[in-house]
Amino acid sequence: MSQLNDTNRFRSITSRTSAMRVFTISEETLRRLTGLIQLAFGVLNGTIGLRFLLKLMAANPLNPFASLIYFVTSPFIWIFRDLTRTPSFEGIEIEFFSLIAIVVYALIGWIIIQLMWILFSRMK
């Protein structure tokens, strides 16, 4: 009887470990997901940086390219808009909140990647 209990116990432990393997992702897939996340946050930070430069150069907001950049980035920086004052002089604006948004989105992307590797990579 004791051997039967030990066998059942062993089976339950192995069934738990095999259930945990369901949530692991191969290293190649994690690398590809990491690349996609870095690309997405890189494009986002690049467009916010371009917005900062366009405002710094006093670009014409009626220009189609400038208005496209302002339109695309406005949903991503609305939460940061009134965080700091925006000094302006003769049409030139220094949007410090755009720089803060770039840093925050870079940190969010880094945190997502780190969590993904911690949660879904296989232990060696």
- The residues with which 93 forms a beta bridge, in sequence order, are 88
Q: What is the pLDDT of residue 2?
A: 47
Q: What is the pLDDT of residue 120?
A: 87
- Sole residue written with tokens 């840093």: 103
Contact between residue 77 and residue 102 where contact means Cβ atoms under 8 Å apart: no
| DSSP symbol at 90 | T
Low-confidence ranges of the chain (pLDDT < 50): 1-3, 12
Q: What is the pLDDT of residue 124?
A: 65
